[in-house]
Chains A and B, each alone.
Chain A
């Protein structure tokens, strides 16, 4: 006999201003299972979680049952009483408060003022952490802890709330591999104690590794619920996007081309050690490795924003001794940041201003910024990269992830670089729109641009780079030619 689901939803419809965010979706969670919700941005994953946690109300006709008994409506308080806890991607913790206060925050909630028992709060915190096998100083302010430890605090807070189902929204997006492993261990522990865990993750490898079932959503509708046994990444991608992707390894011979970037013996203790690499004209070199391997630090050093302690960087035959990224830019280097929201683009400002920010000296007339020159430059790039926008004066934040990323690429192409560093260019870009980004990359390489493509998604570098460097613990440990290694072997080497 099948066990009674701890939570089941059927006939869920949510509409925002005529747009159907969820359409006739059903969903259930079994006791102690580890399940995953997969889908592209906008597929309705987060809307579903918000319905479950009571933030959004579904249209009439929805059927929600907790532990087999029907519930009329979900509210945040009802969800909490039903043992449903959500760990949001931003964790929703309080950095200035201590670990104990963060975990025991429920003790201080409620509209009726009451005195609080600091001792009881600490006991609750210590117990919850003990259940996770974590040892943290509960009196230290949360801000003194790294993101992985904060996540443990967030899980402990959920446990302190007597959770029966814990939803985790993109829990691993900022964790290193060993931290991710630790988290996955914790998830298994929770599951063994009968707490169901539902993952929302775009990292397909993890999804398949940890969960027993995966619920796939697409465009607000349910595609299906599949066992992960026997499921492959490419099959899952097909289910999520509804498209099949033809992927082939690139073939191009750049061996004779001129060397654009030569890095020799570059070291910055603690970040990376003794790194040497070259990139030729028209060549795309992939740099992969787990989070924390030192990839971004290396990229920032080439870009002049982190100072290496030893070694040399040569661009186009000239030694680059960058005092800031302005020198690197003048040397012909562009850097697309992995964090588009915070560092890559200025979200509130206009598309036009974001495009010209790197090339202000090119839009001057008599020392002043010329509106006409600026306009021409912006329109040129928008056309060149086929970017879909409303008006150049619209804020960047009005664009989709894919189009934002194209603007971010345009602003670096505008400086006329010799080398473009693309740090995780598909983060926050839909699977469907990623192909478009790589078409641009391909075209740029064909025009002679040297490209350093950094990604922790191995297939991405496998199918888009001429050579692949594997970085681990701050060192480049191996170089691969996609023609002589299979994707499977490469993944095994990198994910270990």
Chain B
């Protein structure tokens, strides 16, 4: 592995390349290349692709998936998973809808909306406050705990709504799903705020730091004086709270709440995390990379839509993309391995 540069030129080139890769991270470079590839491809295929329409379709569709992915991200980094994100979002939306209905339905005031939203966030947090301690204290597998929570939350929602759509909300919540501020879509703004909050939370706070460490080795983290059980509880609580925000946005976008809305997003959120370079075993993964992965996924879907293909083809291509990316990572690993061996 000794460094034997043959020419000065090569060495400067390499250091220039390395500077960029370390600044951006190899993960993000790959994703940016994918982004450029997607934009170029659809830009060439369809003249309408590079337009405000595409931007708007991405901007209004991305937030639901994006917020749910953020809810999925932190538990995965902790070495766990939260399979209840989509139905928790539904249940939180339901909480808000119920509170608005109690307070006059379409005539409900802003205060009712605010209190209802707080209640919704409370419900989301509560699911996390059940799962977190069960995982942290009993050592039960997060897949199982969150899976049974998913079944429970789905059942509770269906029990409360009898499978029906709940609608009839005050008009002022419409902008949350459809409105713009100075031409900038509000849902996207909320997503960007959430991404920013998660970026700071995961990258700059003790909770976030501890979360990465727990994902790699929870016992060694506990030996280092980190309150691991408390951290795990917080992580799932925050995940639940983020579901609530997703649920509120979904309610505003569909102008209704139904248990099962966004159900198909569940596995897509996991897919987006892995695509964004999150380690399936936990311990590694960056919010920004996951956000880039989300944009790639959504652009792909919007582009295909423009070409007349269905969302289902996009779903299939998302799956193929994940496999392709994992194979590329494997190939890159093989290359480094061979280079070290040589």
Chain A residues within CB distance 8 Å of chain B: 16-18, 305, 324-326, 329, 335, 337, 342-349, 353, 357-358, 360-361, 364, 367-369, 411, 415
Contact = CB atoms under 8 A, between A and B. Distances in A.
A369 B225 contact: no
A357 B226 CA distance: 8
Contact of A325 (B206, B216, B225): B225
15 contacts: A16-B341, A17-B341, A325-B222, A325-B225, A343-B219, A346-B213, A349-B217, A349-B283, A353-B213, A357-B225, A358-B224, A360-B206, A364-B206, A368-B204, A369-B203
A346 B340 contact: no
Nearest to B224: A357
B223 interface: yes
A368 B283 contact: no
Contacts of B220: 337, 342-346
Interface residues of B, number: 25
Contacts of B169: none
Chain A interface main SS type: mixed
B227 interface: yes
B341 A353 contact: no
Contacts of B216: 346-349
Report the 8 A-B pairs with minimum CB-CB distance, sorted nearest first: A368-B204, A17-B341, A357-B224, A348-B216, A346-B217, A329-B225, A360-B206, A346-B220
Interface of B: 200, 203-206, 209-210, 212-213, 216-217, 219-227, 283-284, 340-342
A470 B283 CA distance: 41
Contacts of B227: 324, 326
A239 B119 CA distance: 72
Contacts of B217: 342, 346-349
A370 to B, nearest CB: 8
Nearest to B284: A348
Contacts of A325: 222-223, 225
Contacts of A342: 217, 219-220
B137 to A, nearest CB: 14
Contacts of B203: 369
Nearest to A371: B204
A419 to B, nearest CB: 15
A368 B225 contact: no
A362 to B, nearest CB: 11
A357 B341 CA distance: 33
A337 B342 CA distance: 36
B206 A369 contact: yes
A422 to B, nearest CB: 14
Contacts of B226: 357
B25 to A, nearest CB: 11
B282 to A, nearest CB: 9
- In this complex, the member of A18, A343, A344, A345 whose beta carbon has the largest number of chain B beta carbons within 10 angstroms is A343
B265 to A, nearest CB: 30
A41 to B, nearest CB: 19
- In this complex, the member of B213, B217, B224 whose beta carbon has the largest number of chain A beta carbons within 10 angstroms is B224
Contacts of A367: 205
